[in-house]
């Protein structure tokens, strides 16, 4: 028996006594359920799983982990695509799925207060009878948790106009890595002191665990108009996007799919997009009727001018949903045309879109690896789907290489290695291509302020952990990061 | 000692001088001033300052140097005014990269030529800017206005924060020099980006206590084709609050929802700004006017220019003034009973109270804080003549203060950057 498992056994006993047997999982078969998140290439069976029901229980669990020097990882619905919730084999996985209460829906104060396990779409469902909604809408919104949205700073199709999760969170109650329960932010938009809330949102579970979240609610728009435009090639679709933006229009969403992505969506959900399209654009506008009618006409004109050969305008919500069905199902749909695929997430400046797409096409042609492109065209967020067949020798390797080359393209063109899926464990090795050692070291000063002993989701985001110097309180013997094999003392 | 210090600084930066009375920070005299011309030079100056153990305050135009508390000591002023270039503006990407010493008004004027703006209308920047026939109409109010760096460091905002948020929501990348001279960047030059920690939010509003900001990248928005302001003089706070609530619950999507009130008991003017295409703006403004008028029980007026008070601080530059926040449902009480002159974004729930420059200041601040706290918010004495701050609890309760201290210890372990200006003596 290893030293770690003895420690986990003690923790399991403590958690069982405190939280009850139903809240603790130690059985190897059941632990396997949690071995990966949405990034299934990486699997680690957690040492122990705990499902607390409240902030106080979560704090107690974290305090026990911190005292024992055992690493812990928080997990919501496990839909993350960068391995941010990948468990630690000798650590505790803290699952928030039993903290699923909506505590307050308060349109008069434009907010809701929810527990971290609440499903994203359920917030909107609870607020919509009164005409309000929660804006962040990642494709996984029917299953992903608000706590996960906070950790990842989730976006979605409509963040072009409405921003990301960070713009829609007023406050979080957090269990810090040493088990303290504190509020960052609050219920108003101006709280004295450093904006720790702003730093916490998007920190990928490395600064603590959110146990209550105050989210902003937005009033539903008076009018929503949506069109689907088909173009012969992605180049013309790209021109249309540029024209719309240059005209000063801020659509709620502009989404693009190329021929291969359309083929996959047709095979999966028969969305009935115009035949022969090399690219389709979905453009959605929302706002007051008097505004939208004018801008929608302009968008229609720009699509025609750019060379759209067919434009369909949604007549009602059902038709709009049909336009979106193809787009939102693309990731899964790719399974219809390829046994395996990698979902990539990179960002480029919108103006270099046609150029970068040509580079990706060249990469694809040069290697024979097929790449389907779907993306949030309005903000240059690409989601290339790199297709391969794991059973064929060398294909997985080639796909990995193309996928990495696409990230290099994003960096070379002044973009980012991730627009919404996060760094997690998947892209930690790529982060130094975007930032210098000094940049990363400075970011880790923040991590050290929250988690001086490095027990909170270690090994994620940063390729090399920073040793935090003088740790308040006692720490005898080797640094826990050394013990965990994650760092060397310099 | 003095000579060797000056020599050390001059070796790092070509332009260093002994400080004058103009370099006094909130009543605290400085000894030297450096005028670096680049991020690298700021880094060299801060490395020299670290070696010499100097306490450093960064400044631009000095517009908001009196925000927060006076620093406990200042040896060196790092004046970034010479760093005033627009480094890159790709109009098609709606992104701009600038040096921190650039004045906000100069930035806005440069962007307006491309029919774009940084949707941040803090005092001294472009208020009600719009483009008519290729020329920019609108201009600065409330003084010449501060720099980009000062705007970030103070998290200054204006009426547009209701729709567009404040500095934290528009800043997408930042370059900062830490106390030890380390040059560090976070974010990037694309709007959508979740790579690494978002340190820009930490520097925003930190009053120069974490580092010296040298460059910033912002997301931009198109300048609207047309704008209208709709104002209504509500006879009392209750009806003003009703008008605000009506706008909030409506689907008119205004970009600003502001109030202006003299003393408690005075009538409250509610102002709404709508922006959009010329073809739709008239009808939208009339609809807002009908709604405001009915809720406030008074006649609402539509204008093509902002009312005179729009975006102007309700107090002299030296203060005293407090930043007050509250939940939307607390506005009625705040507007009815808060002491001083009130103005600001009722929509965002963040207002400014101009307070008495006299013995009543402490009592007014305490009363504001009681009202704000009851309604989920806070009241901070943002600025005041230095002697008035002594003995007052400028910040009030600060949640998570222990974490903030640990953060300061990590970024500036010797506490040499703007010591004492920020919360909890940070």
Chain A: nearest CA to B90, how far in angstroms?
Answer: 8
Report CA Rg, chain A.
23
Q: Do B92 and A153 touch (CB under 8 A)?
A: no
B210 versus A481: the higher-pLDDT residue is B210
Is A427's Cβ below 8 Å from some Cβ in B? yes
Tell me the chain A residues in contact with residue B91 when contact means C-beta distances shorter than 8 Å. 246
Q: Do B169 and A163 touch (CB under 8 A)?
A: yes
Q: Sign (positive/negative) of CA torsion B316, B321, B325, B330?
A: negative
pLDDT band, residue A329 (cuts 50/70/90)? confident
Neighbours of B1 (CB within 10 A): 6
CA distance A475 to A289: 63
Stretches where chain B sits below pLDDT 50 are 129-143
Q: What is the pLDDT of residue A449?
A: 97
ipTM over 0.90: yes
pLDDT tens across A404-425, in order?
A: 999 999 999 999 999 999 999 9
pLDDT tens across A392-404, in order?
A: 999 999 999 999 9
* Structural domains in chain A plus CATH codes: 3-95 (3.30.43.10), 102-219 (3.30.465.10), 221-327 (3.30.70.2190), 338-427 (3.30.70.2740)
The CATH class for the domain spanning B2-82 reads alpha beta
pLDDT tens across B274-309, in order?
A: 999 999 999 999 999 999 999 999 999 999 999 999
Q: Tell me how far CA of residue B199 lies from CA of A195, B407, B420, in angstroms.
A: 9, 12, 21
> Token pair 């508390």 is at which residue?
B69
Chain B: nearest CA to A421, how far in angstroms?
Answer: 8
Residue range A241-269: mean pLDDT, rounded: 94
The interaxial angle of helices B401-411 and A437-450, nearest 10 deg, is 150
Q: Do B251 and A290 touch (CB under 8 A)?
A: no
CA distance A138 to A164: 10
Nearest Cβ partner for A194 among B184, B202, B377: B202
Q: Give the list of residues 6+ apart from residue B329 with CB closer than 8 angstroms, or none.
A: A108, A109, B375
Q: Do B411 and A445 touch (CB under 8 A)?
A: yes
Looking at residue A145, the DSSP 8-state letter turns out to be B
Q: Sign (positive/negative) of CA torsion B5, B9, B15, B16?
A: negative
> Token pair 């309005």 is at which residue?
A378
Nearest-by-CA chain A residue for B328: A109
Q: What is the pLDDT of residue A332?
A: 82
Strands (E), B326-364: 341-345, 350-354
* Best B67, B190, B204, B273 residue to mutate vs chain A (most A CBs within 10 Å): B190
A421: closest CA among A228, A167, A154? A154
* Best A137, A172, A194, A430 residue to mutate vs chain B (most B CBs within 10 Å): A194
User: What do you get for the CA distance between the two ends of chain B, in Å?
Assistant: 28
Q: Is A390 exposed, middle or buried (0-12, 13-18, 19+ CB in 10 A)?
A: exposed
Nearest Cβ partner for B196 among A288, A348, A435: A435
Whole-model pTM?
0.95
CA distance B379 to B395: 7
Residue range A244-266: mean pLDDT, rounded: 94
Q: Give the list of residues 6+ apart from residue A254 with CB closer than 8 angstroms, or none.
A: A160, A241, A244, A281, A282, A283, A284, A376, A377, A378
Q: Are B150 and B98 in contact (CB under 8 A)?
A: no
CB pairs under 8 A between A and B: 272
CA distance B251 to B291: 11
Q: What is the pLDDT of residue B344?
A: 97
User: Considering the domain B86-222 in this protein, what is its CATH number?
Assistant: 3.30.465.10
Q: Tell me how far CA of residue A375 lies from CA of A34, A64, A193, in angstroms.
A: 29, 43, 38
Tell me the chain B residues in contact with residue A419 when contact means C-beta distances shorter than 8 Å. 190, 192-194
CA distance A359 to B372: 56
Nearest Cβ partner for A443 among B194, B197, B327: B197
* Best A189, A201, A460 residue to mutate vs chain B (most B CBs within 10 Å): A189
| Coil/strand/helix, residue B93 | helix
Q: Do B249 and A219 touch (CB under 8 A)?
A: yes
Strand B321-325 vs strand B350-354: parallel, antiparallel, or unpaired? antiparallel
Q: Do B93 and A108 touch (CB under 8 A)?
A: no
CA distance B100 to B218: 12
Nearest Cβ partner for B329 among A108, A196, A249: A108
Nearest-by-CA chain A residue for B199: A199
* Best B194, B208, B291, B407 residue to mutate vs chain A (most A CBs within 10 Å): B194
Q: Are A450 and A168 in contact (CB under 8 A)?
A: no
pLDDT tens across A432-462, in order?
A: 999 999 999 999 999 999 999 999 999 999 9
Q: Do A202 and B183 touch (CB under 8 A)?
A: no
Q: What is the pLDDT of residue B202?
A: 98
Tell me the chain A residues in contact with residue B177 when contact means C-beta distances shorter than 8 Å. none
- Domain boundary assignment for chain B: 2-82, 86-222, 226-303
B387: closest CA among B365, B352, B358, B348? B358
User: Considering the domain B226-303 in this protein, what is its CATH number?
Assistant: 3.30.70.3450
Q: Do B277 and A379 touch (CB under 8 A)?
A: no
């Amino acid at each position: 028996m290893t030293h770690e498992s003895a420690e986990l056994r003690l923790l399991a006993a403590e958690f069982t006594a405190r939280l009850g047997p139903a809240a603790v999982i130690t059985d190897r078969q059941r632990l396997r359920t949690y071995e990966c998140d949405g990034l299934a290439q990486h699997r680690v069976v957690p040492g122990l799983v705990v499902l607390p029901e409240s902030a106080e229980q979560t704090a107690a669990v974290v305090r026990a982990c911190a005292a024992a020097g055992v690493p812990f990882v928080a997990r919501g619905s496990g839909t993350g695509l960068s391995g941010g919730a990948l468990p630690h084999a000798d650590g505790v996985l803290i699952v928030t799925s039993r903290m699923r209460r909506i505590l307050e829906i308060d349109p008069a104060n434009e907010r809701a207060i929810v527990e971290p396990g609440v499903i994203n779409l359920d917030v909107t469902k609870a607020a919509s009878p009164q005409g309000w909604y929660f804006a962040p809408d990642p494709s996984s919104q029917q299953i992903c948790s608000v706590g996960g949205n906070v950790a990842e700073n989730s976006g979605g199709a409509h963040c072009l106009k409405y921003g990301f999760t960070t713009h829609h969170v007023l406050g979080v109650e957090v269990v810090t890595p040493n088990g303290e329960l504190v509020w960052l932010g609050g219920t108003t938009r101006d709280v004295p002191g450093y904006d720790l809330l702003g730093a916490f949102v998007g920190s990928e579970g490395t600064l603590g665990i959110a146990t209550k979240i105050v989210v902003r609610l937005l009033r539903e728009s008076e009018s929503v108009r949506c069109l689907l435009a088909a173009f012969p090639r992605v180049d013309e679709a790209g021109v249309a996007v540029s024209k719309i933006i240059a005209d000063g229009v801020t659509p709620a969403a502009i989404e693009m799919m190329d021929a291969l992505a359309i083929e996959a969506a047709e095979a999966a959900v028969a969305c009935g997009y115009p035949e022969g399209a090399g690219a389709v654009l979905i453009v959605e506008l929302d706002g007051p009727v008097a505004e939208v009618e004018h801008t929608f006409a302009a968008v229609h004109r720009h699509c025609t001018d750019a060379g759209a050969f067919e434009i369909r305008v949604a007549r009602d919500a059902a038709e709009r949903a049909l336009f979106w069905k193809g787009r939102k199902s693309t990731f899964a749909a790719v399974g219809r045309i390829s046994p395996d695929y990698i979902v990539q997430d990179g960002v480029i400046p919108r103006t270099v879109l046609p150029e970068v797409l040509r580079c990706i096409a060249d990469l694809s042609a040069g290697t024979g690896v097929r790449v389907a492109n779907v993306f949030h065209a309005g903000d240059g967020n690409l989601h290339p789907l790199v297709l391969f067949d794991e059973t064929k020798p060398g294909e997985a390797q080639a796909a990995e290489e193309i996928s990495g080359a696409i990230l290099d393209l994003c960096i070379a063109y002044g973009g980012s290695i991730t627009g919404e899926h996060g760094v997690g464990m998947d892209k930690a090795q790529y982060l130094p291509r975007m930032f210098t050692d000094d940049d990363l070291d400075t970011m880790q000063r923040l991590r050290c302020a929250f988690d001086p002993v490095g027990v909170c989701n270690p090994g994620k985001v940063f390729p090399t952990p920073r040793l935090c110097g003088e740790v308040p309180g006692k720490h005898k013997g080797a640094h826990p990061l050394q013990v965990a094999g994650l760092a060397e003392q310099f | 000692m003095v000579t060797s210090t000056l020599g050390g600084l001059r070796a790092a930066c070509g332009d260093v001088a002994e400080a004058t009375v103009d370099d006094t920070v909130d009543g605290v005299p400085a000894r030297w001033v450096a005028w670096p011309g680049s991020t690298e030079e700021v880094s060299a100056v801060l490395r020299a300052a670290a070696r010499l153990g100097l306490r450093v305050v960064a400044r631009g135009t000095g517009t908001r140097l009196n925000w927060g508390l006076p620093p406990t000591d200042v040896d060196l002023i790092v004046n970034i005014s010479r760093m005033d270039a627009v480094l890159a503006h790709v109009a098609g990407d709606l992104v701009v990269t600038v040096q921190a010493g650039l004045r906000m008004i100069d930035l806005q004027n440069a962007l307006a030529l491309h029919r774009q703006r940084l949707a941040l209308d803090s005092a001294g920047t472009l208020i009600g800017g719009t483009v008519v026939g290729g020329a920019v109409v609108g201009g600065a109010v409330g003084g010449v206005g501060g720099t980009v760096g000062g705007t970030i460091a103070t998290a200054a905002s204006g009426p547009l924060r209701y729709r567009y948020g404040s500095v934290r929501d528009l800043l997408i990348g930042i370059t900062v020099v830490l106390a030890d001279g380390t040059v560090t960047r976070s974010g990037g030059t694309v709007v959508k980006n979740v790579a690494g920690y978002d340190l820009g939010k930490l520097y925003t509003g930190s009053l120069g206590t974490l580092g010296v900001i040298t460059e910033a990248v912002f997301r931009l928005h198109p300048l609207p084709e047309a704008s209208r302001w709709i104002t209504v003089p509500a006879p009392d706070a209750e009806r003003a609050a009703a008008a605000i609530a009506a706008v909030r619950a409506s689907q008119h999507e205004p970009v600003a929802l502001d109030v202006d009130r003299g003393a408690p008991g005075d009538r409250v003017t509610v102002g709404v700004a709508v922006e959009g295409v010329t073809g739709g703006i008239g009808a939208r403004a009339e609809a807002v006017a009908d709604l405001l008028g009915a809720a406030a029980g008074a006649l609402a007026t539509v204008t093509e220019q902002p009312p005179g008070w729009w975006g102007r601080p309700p107090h002299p530059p030296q203060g005293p003034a407090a930043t007050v926040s509250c939940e939307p449902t607390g506005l009625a009480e705040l507007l009815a009973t808060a002491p001083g002159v009130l103005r600001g974004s009722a929509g965002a729930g963040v207002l400014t109270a101009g307070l008495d420059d006299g013995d009543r200041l402490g009592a007014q601040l305490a009363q504001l804080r009681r009202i704000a706290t009851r309604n989920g918010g806070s009241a901070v004495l943002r600025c005041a003549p230095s002697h008035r701050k002594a003995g007052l609890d400028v910040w009030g309760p600060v949640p998570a203060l222990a974490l903030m201290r640990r953060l300061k210890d990590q970024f500036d372990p010797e506490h040499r950057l703007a010591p004492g200006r920020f919360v909890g003596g940070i």
